[in-house]
Structures are given as structure tokens and as C-alpha cells.
């Protein structure tokens, strides 16, 4: 397992739902309008305390992307993914950014997010905007 970084952060914190490891600040949210196969997700400019997995090409609702799943350094849970390459010209703004799935994180008010009853599983993670 990777090393756990203790980071002193100010502001509103999002944490791993399973172990409480800090993952991101609300100040680093780019968009709250993302969708994944289990419901809502947030796009972040920066996250901490994650380890990237193997990169792979995934066809999402906005086109082909090269992504790597990201895992919490505290417990190893998959918490989302990182965009490595966006193959569509209009999606280049996602490159180098991270998606955290809401049902896998605890919110800034200590609340847990759960899978939406309306969420319909899809063939792969999707990012509707």
C-alpha cells in the first residue's frame, strides 16, 4: 500500500467514506454536474492521498478518454478516476483532473452520500455534463 500523507488543509474537506482519509477540498471542485454509473460525481482540479491504477481507454458519454482509477491510500478503496487524455477536442479541459464519486466519499458536513435510487447502472463509468 502507498504512504499516507498528512496534509494540513483549510476549508471544506471531502474524505474517503470507508476510512476517513482526506481526499479533496471544496475549493478544488471544477464541476458538480458529473454523472457516473452509480449516480453523481464531482470533478476536482486536485486530490490528495490517492494512488492511480493502470491507465485504460474508456468510451464515456462524452467520447473516448484515457483514464486511471484512483484508490484511497488509507484503505485501498476505489474512489473515482483521473483523466489522463481526452481524445475529443472539446473535452481537453478534463486532462489531469480527477473525478470522485459521491457515494464513495463523505461530504464536508460529515454526511455520507449514497447511490441514488434513480441511478441506472451503465456499461462503463460515464460523465454527463
Domain interval for residue 43: 13-106
Is residue 117 a part of any domain in this protein?
Answer: no
Which CATH number is 57's domain given? Answer: 2.170.150.20
State mean pLDDT over 117-124: 38
The CA distance from 44 to 54, in Å, is: 20
Q: Which residue has the higher pLDDT, 24 or 12?
A: 24
What's the angle, vertex CA 35, arms to CA 90 and CA 2, rounded to 5? 95
Is residue 124 a part of any domain in this protein?
Answer: no
The CA distance from 117 to 108, in Å, is: 22
Picking from 39-43, 74-78, 115-119, which range would have the lowest pLDDT averaged per residue? 115-119
Confidence of residue 35 (pLDDT cuts 50, 70, 90): confident
Nearest to 79 by CA among 54, 25, 42: 42
**In total, how many domains does the chain have?**
1
Q: Would the pLDDT of 118 be above 50?
A: no
Amino acid at each position: 500500500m502507498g504512504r499516507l500523507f498528512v496534509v494540513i488543509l483549510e476549508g471544506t474537506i471531502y474524505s474517503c467514506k470507508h476510512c476517513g482519509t482526506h481526499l479533496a477540498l471544496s475549493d478544488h471542485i471544477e464541476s458538480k454536474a458529473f454523472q457516473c454509473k452509480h449516480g453523481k460525481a464531482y470533478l476536482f482540479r486536485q486530490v490528495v492521498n490517492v494512488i492511480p491504477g493502470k491507465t485504460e481507454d474508456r468510451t464515456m458519454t462524452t467520447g473516448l478518454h484515457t483514464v486511471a482509477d484512483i484508490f484511497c491510500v488509507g484503505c485501498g478503496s476505489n474512489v473515482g478516476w483521473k483523466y489522463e487524455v481526452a481524445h475529443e477536442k472539446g473535452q481537453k479541459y478534463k486532462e489531469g483532473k480527477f473525478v470522485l464519486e459521491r457515494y464513495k466519499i463523505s461530504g464536508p458536513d460529515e454526511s455520507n452520500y449514497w447511490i441514488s435510487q434513480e441511478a441506472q447502472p451503465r456499461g462503463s463509468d460515464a460523465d454527463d455534463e
